[in-house]
Amino acid sequence: MSKFLEIRSKNKDICTLGECGGSITSILQYLLETKVVDGVLNIKKYDDIYDGVPVFITDPKEILETAGSLHCAPTMVADLISEYLDDKKLAVVVKPCDAMAINELVKRNRFNSENLFIIGLNCGGTLMPEPAQRMFELFYDLNPEDIIKEEIDKGQIIVLLKDGTEKGVKIDELEEKGWGRRENCQRCEVKIPRNTDIVCGNWGATEGWTFTEVISEKGVKLINDAVKDGFIESKTPSDKQIEIRAKLEKIMEKLADKFQKKQLNTEYPSIEKWDEYWNRCIECYGCRDVCPICWCNECEIERFFENESLTPPDPLTFQGVRLTHMSFSCINCGQCEDVCPVHIPLSKIYYKAQKNYRENTGYIAGITDELPPLYSPENE
């Protein structure tokens, strides 16, 4: 049974740098300073807010550089965990789609989550960096380089400028015109990732605090120890705050359902349109490489490159192989679509296949703890 808390950092600098009280940054600092973990896998801002990249941090001082939320960083970290975990102990900060990918990878024995602290973030959605910059020019009449911070609040995408001023535009207005959050984020129905140890967000929180749902035993110990060692402070939220958070979660789930109906039914591409898409495919295999779930040890496709006498499969056959291998486990992260150089709406097919599979079997990719029915570990 989850426990609800409000948390904030006890370090004034981290409180200021952090998104809502810097609780995550201080928890990570606690984990590194007390050597509970060997490293932290996280996202950090490089040149600007459009440049969020994964980092592996072992020095507690460096963790400050990761404070704050980056909404223009749809970066997936789940598939990087196995590279760093080995025999080490790690902490990782995850959006719901990362948490779902972790669930699928653990079920496939890609890594063991025993030595992993999974710190979740509520997530209303992310934006693609390049289109976001164009959107800020067109709808905000701003130079994207002048923006130093962005947030999604009260139905708006709000930006903070170098000169201290703010500007917000309604998400509905932007999305009706084809801008705003990534399409997969619009239809994403998991807004609070509960297959984690703790999950943090601003919904229902007092200004300057993080509303935290403490989920696992590991999470309970983590918070208690970080409080005891003076890294964070905590208080109990009111029933009203808990209610507000639950209400916001429901509203976002309903909105996602509306987008699913629109994108996966009403506006789903016709067979002719798919033909047109497959004709565009340049067979770069970026969609396969980036997919956190599509991860056979030996990819069927590779043998076509190892043997010159074989002709590589056409795009439709290639996607057919991918579909049979992992469509039932698609977690709608949208990474495949993000990297496709010819803009094929790939995650729509995979997610629609998972939704059909879900209806027939009850298996929810990234959430159900057991392996999918009829799953074959062949080749993995």
Ligand X SMILES: Cc1cc2nc3c(=O)[nH]c(=O)nc-3n(C[C@H](O)[C@H](O)[C@H](O)COP(=O)(O)OP(=O)(O)OC[C@H]3O[C@@H](n4cnc5c(N)ncnc54)[C@H](O)[C@@H]3O)c2cc1C
> Which residues contribute to the site for ligand X (CB under 6 A)?
18-25, 42-43, 52, 66-71, 73, 75, 93, 95, 121-124, 126, 152, 200-203, 210
210 binds, among ligand X, ligand SF4, none (CB under 5 to 8 A by kind): ligand X
Q: For residue 30, state whether it binds ligand SF4 (rule: CB under 6 A).
A: no
Per CB under 6 A, the list member of 184, 195, 212, 260 interacting with ligand SF4 is 184
**138-146 own/partner pairs: CB under 8 Å, 24+ apart:** 138/179, 139/169, 139/173, 139/174, 139/177, 139/179, 140/167, 140/169, 142/167, 144/50, 145/48
21 binds, among ligand SF4, ligand X, none (CB under 5 to 8 A by kind): ligand X
Per CB under 6 A, the list member of 75, 196, 260, 347 interacting with ligand SF4 is 347
Matching residue, tokens 């990362």: 98
Per CB under 6 A, the list member of 25, 263, 335, 368 interacting with ligand SF4 is 335
341 binds, among ligand X, ligand SF4, none (CB under 5 to 8 A by kind): ligand SF4
Answer for the pair 336, 322: CB distance below 8 angstroms, yes or no: no
Per CB under 6 A, the list member of 330, 345, 352, 363 interacting with ligand SF4 is 330
45 binds, among ligand SF4, ligand X, none (CB under 5 to 8 A by kind): none
Number of chain residues interacting with ligand SF4 (CB under 6 A): 36
Minimum gap (Å) between residue 252 Cβ and ligand SF4: 9
Tell me whether residue 30 or residue 50 sits nearer to ligand SF4 (CB atom). 50
Minimum gap (Å) between residue 66 Cβ and ligand X: 4
Q: For residue 287, state whether it binds ligand SF4 (rule: CB under 6 A).
A: yes
Minimum gap (Å) between residue 186 Cβ and ligand X: 13
Tell me whether residue 65 or residue 289 sits nearer to ligand X (CB atom). 65
Tell me whether residue 44 or residue 288 sits nearer to ligand X (CB atom). 44
64 binds, among ligand X, ligand SF4, none (CB under 5 to 8 A by kind): none
Minimum gap (Å) between residue 141 Cβ and ligand X: 24
Burial call 233-270: b when 16+ CB within 10 Å, e when fewer: bbeebeeebeebbeebbeebeebbeebbeebbeeeeee
219 binds, among ligand SF4, ligand X, none (CB under 5 to 8 A by kind): none
Per CB under 6 A, the list member of 44, 45, 71, 95 interacting with ligand SF4 is 95
Per CB under 6 A, the list member of 331, 353, 363, 372 interacting with ligand SF4 is 331
73 binds, among ligand SF4, ligand X, none (CB under 5 to 8 A by kind): ligand X
**Site residues for ligand SF4 per CB under 6 A:** 74, 95-97, 123, 125-126, 184-185, 188, 281-287, 291, 293-294, 315, 330-336, 339-342, 344, 346-347, 350
